[in-house]
Structures are given as C-alpha cells and as structure tokens.
Amino acid sequence: MSKKINKISLDDNLILLTSDVKNIDLKYLSKEEIAYASQVLSEHKKETVVFDRLGKWVLVQLIKEEKEGYKRLENCRKAGDSLAARLNELKAKSVVVVDVDGKGPETLALVEGIALGSYQFLKYKSDKKEKENSLSSVGILSKLIKDAEIDRMNILTDSVIRCRTLVNEPVSHLSAQVLAKEFQKMGEEAGIKVEVLNKNKIEALKMGGLLAVNKGSTDPPTFTIMEWNPPKPVNKKPIILVGKGVVFDSGGLNLKTANFMDNMKDDMAGAATMATVIYAIARLNLPLHVIGLMPATDNRMDANSIAPGDVIKMYDGTTVEVLNTDAEGRLILGDALSYAKKFKPELVIDAATLTGAASRAIGRYGIVAMENRAEKEMELLIECGKMVYERIAVFPFWEEYGELIKSDVADIKNIGGTDAGMITAGKFLAHFTDYPFIHLDIAGPAFIEKKDSYRTAGGTGFGVRLLVEFLKQRANR
Ligand code: BES
Ligand code: ZN
Ligand code: ZN
C-alpha cells in the first residue's frame, strides 16, 4: 500500500506528521496556517487539524510525547487509523505522509495504522463497490526511511490482513481441507515447503486427539506442516510454531449454549496466525529455520461424536479421559506438540484460542502466556509485545496446577476444576512437551465484535506482528 515518494505534486493530499507545528516547511503551509494550526492544537488539545485546498486536503498530525517510546508508536498507529477514516469520508484516493521532523519509526507506525485500519472484509457483500474505502495508495516522504523498510512494512501489513481474512471466512467456505489448501497457496507464493497429511496418514500415525475431535464431523481432518529452511539459518535446531486449527467449534456433545457459538469460526485463529507468521518471515527472507504444525478439524455434534467419559489414546501413547468435548483444542494440539519432538526443536511456541478463561481474565487487550524452560525467550517476547503493542500477560505455571488434570481412569483428563482454566489447559499441553515451550492463549484478542482503532472488527491477526518481531530479533542475535 505504501511507496516512497521523491517529490510531491501540488495535487497530493498530505498528512504532515510532526512533533512541533513550527517545523513545518512553508511550502506545505503558510505562516498564517501554521499559526492557526498551533493555536488549535494547543488551545483545544486536539491532535489533528485539517486544511481544505479546494478539494485537496492537508492534515496536520501532532505526535504526542510519551515517556515510554512504545506508547508513542501505538498512538501513531491509532492516529493513522483515524486519519484514514477521515480521508475515506473525504473520498480521497491517495495521500502522502510527510515526515516533517525526521521521525522514521513514528512515520512507519502511522502508515501501519492506515494500512491495518483500512482493512475490510466485503467478500459476501453484494454492494461491495459502494462500501469499499476510497483510499488505496499511501506515499511516504522521509529522509530517514529506506525503501527496504517500506517493503518490509508492506509484507507485514499484508500478512496480518491475510490472517484476518482466513479468520473471517466462515466454516461453510473454510473446512479443514480448504484451510490446508490456503496454507499450500501461501507456501507456493513465498517459497515455503508445505506438506498436508490427509486423514489416512493421520490414522496411520495414530493421532488419536485429532481423530477423536474429528469423529463428529463429515469433513476429514488435516495436519499441515510448513517448513521455512533458508540456506544459512542462524539456528541449528528449528523453532516450531504450532497453531490450533478448529475451523468451527460447536462444543461437540457438550454443545455450546446461547450466543457462545456465534464467533466460533475464529477457532482456527492460532493456525492462521502461525501459517501467516511463516509466510511473512519467508517473504522477509529471515535466516531462521522455522517449522509450522497446524492440525485442523471442525468440532461437531453427531451420532458418532466423542462422548464425555470416553478414553482416547493420543499420538504419543498418553491416554486421556475426555470429560468435556468442548475442551477439544488441547486434544488436537497435544498430538501436534508430541509430533514436534521429532524435530528436536530449540523452542516451540503454540498459539490457540484455547480458553474462555483467558479471555475473561484479561479481555481483548492481550495474550495470556505460560512458559516452561523458556524464561529468556519469554522475556524477549514480552519486549516485542510492547514494541508492536500486542502485549503479553504471563501466568504462573506451577506444578500444582498439573495435579488438577490427573484422571482416575486414564493418564490425564481434558479439564481441570473451575479455577485457573487457562492454566490447566496450558498444563495439559505441557504434558506433551520435553523442550523449551511457550503457550499463547489468544482467545481474548483474536476476534473482536467492534472495531478498536486499527484492529478492525472480526479477526484481528493479533499475534502475527508479535511473532514476526520476535523471530526478526532471534534472526539478528
Ligand atoms: N474455543 C474455545 C475457547 C474460546 C472461548 C475461544 C471464547 C474464544 C472465545 C475452547 O475450545 C473451549 O470451548 N474451551 C472451554 C474449555 C472448558 C470446557 C474446559 C471453555 O473455555 O469454556
Ligand atoms: Zn471448545
Ligand atoms: Zn475451541
């Protein structure tokens, strides 16, 4: 969406981004206009002033000072979103963002906010032409920002948008098989090796968790393996990303009630996130060996569905007493996490819309995370979370919580008690790991019903920018 501009024409719509209006060049605004802008901004505590130039627009955007730099960047993303909304109201087709006083990161953040905030999911609207945003091109005029940085920003925002669209697709158009095909297409586009295990192969491998959840479905399950292995990776052992791919979660025989089922097409957001992250790092050409594992199925009610009390045998041989068929994510992820062992990974991270408990604990504002043997990696992830404003709340992972999933009839059961549901779910996953492990429960932020600035309504792609930033930092170590 963005491109570097060398010269602006008098015809362009402009956003002048500045921390001090007095720094604005007189070729953009007259002295009187600068005086007016500075008065409006200071007296009315506003951050934006709009000038009408006979149908062309000049928007002055003030950067608010913040003690912590990362908050300033987030303010710039949000400003980008509201400026985009303004320009769409004004039916503007293009705009050039002028970095008035050499603030590269802030300017990029503003453009990021414009790109992400402009996302629309109109596929199923008959009048999509009328509904489409007018703004379709953004230029950048900055001494500091290099072309390569703009290319990287385009890859990043494009990736987030892909993730959102996957999450927004309803199950009628996105079965496990269609999801796997989408992953294959992304692989072809970005040069990633993709293998999709079909139901026969999944049966031959005895992935009992994935097969159990799939029992109530008329559609077969899939297990997608994506591998980005560049010529000279900085890591000897791969980093593995595991994503929950429940394309629709009805709850199964423990059927979800009332409106708890409404948004359950989003239950594959973890898989979409991890696939998109690998897509992004491949297009960014990061020198890092990364493997993605995406088990996928829907969770339905049928005569043949798994029933509460059933005992199943997982891929690694663990027996599980299924006491609630709605706790299905951990069953398909358990298989993927034990499958990950064969790669002898240096780190495994999973992302999953795993528990309502995580969402209730911190809402849509962040990710609930837990860690085993990966304290340092978690520290880096927390830092990255601030930078991209996809923040992380670390929850305890004490061994006592593990006691809560012991079963009387099998090795473990798939639910704990009423307390700490996000942690007992994490403990269930950790049972299948013997490597440094980070669990990300994205149930809160993955899908929102109302637009929240540049996080548009529906799938948000929350976690994509976080993990791309994390992997960038690992690649640069
Ligand atoms: N997919 C849900 C979790 C979820 C809830 C995601 C709300 C997004 C928003 C998951 O499979 C589930 O149903 N979890 C149960 C677990 C319980 C039965 C132990 C839950 O959280 O209620
Ligand atoms: Zn469920
Ligand atoms: Zn689920």
d(CA 255, ligand 1 centre) in Å: 11
Q: Is the CB of 326 under 6 A from ligand 1?
A: yes
Task: Say if residue 8's pLDDT is above 90.
Answer: no
Check if 261 has its Cβ closer than 6 Å to any atom of ligand 1: no
- Residue 467 Cα to ligand 3 midpoint, Å, equals 22
Of the chain, the percentage scoring pLDDT greater than 90 comes to 95
Model confidence pLDDT, tens digit, residues 145-164: 999 999 999 999 999 999 99
User: Span 323-352, mean pLDDT?
Assistant: 98
Whether pLDDT at 10 is above 80: no
Q: Is 206 a catalytic residue?
A: no
Q: Which of 51-55, 158-162, 231-235 has the lowest mean pLDDT?
A: 51-55
Residue pLDDT, tens place only, 239-265: 999 999 999 999 999 999 999 999 999
* Contact 372 CB / ligand 1 (< 6 Å): no
Q: What is the mean pLDDT of the chain?
A: 97
Q: Are 186 and 165 in contact (CB under 8 A)?
A: no
Which sign, positive or negative, has the C-alpha torsion 197, 201, 206, 209?
positive
pLDDT of 46 reads 87
For residue 308, with 0-12 CB atoms within 10 Å meaning exposed, 13-18 middle and 19 or more buried, which class applies?
middle
Between the alpha carbon of residue 339 and those of residues 62, 64, 147, 205, 342, the distances in Å are: 51, 48, 41, 10, 6
Summarised one tens digit per residue, pLDDT across range 55-82 is 899 999 999 888 888 999 999 999 999 9
Of residues 175, 186, 307, the one with CA closest to residue 251: 307
Active-site annotation holds for 256: yes
Helix, strand, coil percentages (3-state) for the chain, rounded to 5, are 40, 20, 40
SS3 458: strand
Percent of the chain with pLDDT over 70: 100
| Statement: the pTM of the whole predicted model exceeds 0.85 | yes
pLDDT per position as a tens digit, 77-97: 999 999 999 999 999 999 999
Residue 356 near ligand 1, beta carbon < 6 Å: yes
Ligand 1 atom closest to Cα of residue 260: 7
Indicate whether 54 pLDDT > 90: no
Ligand number with the minimum distance to the CA of 244:
3
> Distance of alpha carbon 420 from its chain centroid, rounded?
24
Catalytic residue among 3, 71, 86, 256: 256
